[in-house]
Amino acid sequence: MLCVVGRQASRRLAVQRAIPSAATLEWRHISTTSIASSIGNAGDGGPVSHLERYVDQLSNEAEYPLILRVMQATLESIHDGPMECPWWGIIAGSALTLRTLLVLPVAIYQQRAQARALKLTAISRLWQRPMYTSLELELATRTPPVTDKEFGKVLNKRLSKRRHLLMFRQGCHPIFGALLPMTQIPIWMAMTCSLRHLSGRLVPLFDSAATALPAAAPDMASEGILWFTNLVATDSTGMLPAITGAVYLSNAMVHLYRRREYAIANSLDGTPPKKGWLSHIFLCIRFAAPPIMTYVAMFQPSSIVLYWLTSASFTLVQMLAFHNQRLRKRLKFNYIKDKVTE
């Protein structure tokens, strides 16, 4: 009898535990209703998540390339995010971030390749005497005999061919110097076009003259800094384009100085090599770019000029830092001046 009563009591307790209380049922109903209402609001055009806004921005304006849509959507998402960063900070920070993560590693690789090229040049100088003797024996029986000028041309051609082959195998051929501009130019163009579209301007190559002007990004007209508070308009004072042009000119002068040092150290006889017509063309382009960029910047929105200034300033600081002997040793590429004075 006692066993039967005990079993019935245990069954009642189990049933009571299995049945939820009224408060629990009410909470579950409220939570389910709130979730359903939130989903309904999102479907009816109510508040959506940050990720949904980002995907919606990517899906708009499909006529633009994907990289432009990604950059524009990323900039707008950062501005609309919880940090509430002003537009001038987003533009400057994006320039520094892109240069640090994408361009700086390529620049360091290029500097290390140049250091390896200098070491291989020193090795090439050791070949000069054996190849001179070998070529002298090879051309001794030639009729008519070769002149000293012709002999020097043949010797330099063979030395250069062997040295270039060795540099290509070691990954430090001068052709690898094109990696840096191939990385910089697409990023620079994509950011410039994205900021131009965010500033309410037509983007060349993607917009026709009949295309309606896009709407400028919210708050860009008031979230500038210093004297250019309106990032949508041009700088009426002309100071921002002038500073940008001065930084571009400084970059050209520092690059010319360092290029001359590297050319001397990389030559077989330690003297400055003669510049060809192609070198003169690139030199003219490099020094003609600053005044041209200054003139173009006077008609661009301040947001674009701010990006140009930040990017050019990063390049200037980078080149000056790469000229520091301690930093070059820490980054594992030798100091060029030490090679010149050897």
Average pLDDT over residues 131-148: 71
Contact 329, 335 (CB under 8 A): yes
Q: In the predicted model, is pLDDT for residue 168 greater than 60?
A: yes
Least confident of 6-10, 225-229, 293-297, 318-322: 6-10
Question: What rounded mean pLDDT belongs to the chain?
Answer: 72
Output the pLDDT for position 45: 46
pLDDT band at 317 (very low <50, low <70, confident <90, very high): very high
Dihedral angle sign, alpha carbons of residues 287, 291, 294, 299: negative
Q: Which amino acid is at 171?
A: G
| pLDDT 10s digits, 28-52 | 332 333 333 333 444 444 444 545 5
Output the pLDDT for position 62: 55
Q: State the DSSP string of 129-158.
A: HHHHHHHHHHSTT-SSPPPHHHHHHHHHHH
215 or 25, which is more confident? 215
Paired strand residues for 228: 225
pLDDT band at 272 (very low <50, low <70, confident <90, very high): low
Please state, in angstroms and rounded to a whole number, the distance separating the CA atoms of residues 70 and 212: 22
Residues in the chain: 342
169 or 265, which is more confident? 169
Least confident of 190-204, 213-227, 268-282: 268-282
Least confident of 102-111, 127-136, 140-149, 258-267: 258-267
Percent of the chain residues past pLDDT 70, beyond the cut: 65
Contact 176, 110 (CB under 8 A): yes
Output the pLDDT for position 244: 93
Contact 303, 87 (CB under 8 A): yes
Q: In the predicted model, is pLDDT for residue 260 greater than 80?
A: no
Q: Which two tokens stand for residue 239?
A: 């100071």
Q: In the predicted model, is pLDDT for residue 247 greater than 90?
A: yes
Half-sphere exposure of residue 71: CA atoms within 13 angstroms, side-chain side: 23
Paired strand residues for 225: 228
Output the pLDDT for position 263: 61
Please state, in angstroms and rounded to a whole number, the distance separating the CA atoms of residues 160 and 174: 12
Please state, in angstroms and rounded to a whole number, the distance separating the CA atoms of residues 71 and 125: 49
Closest CA to 152 of 135, 169, 170, 173: 135
Output the pLDDT for position 332: 76
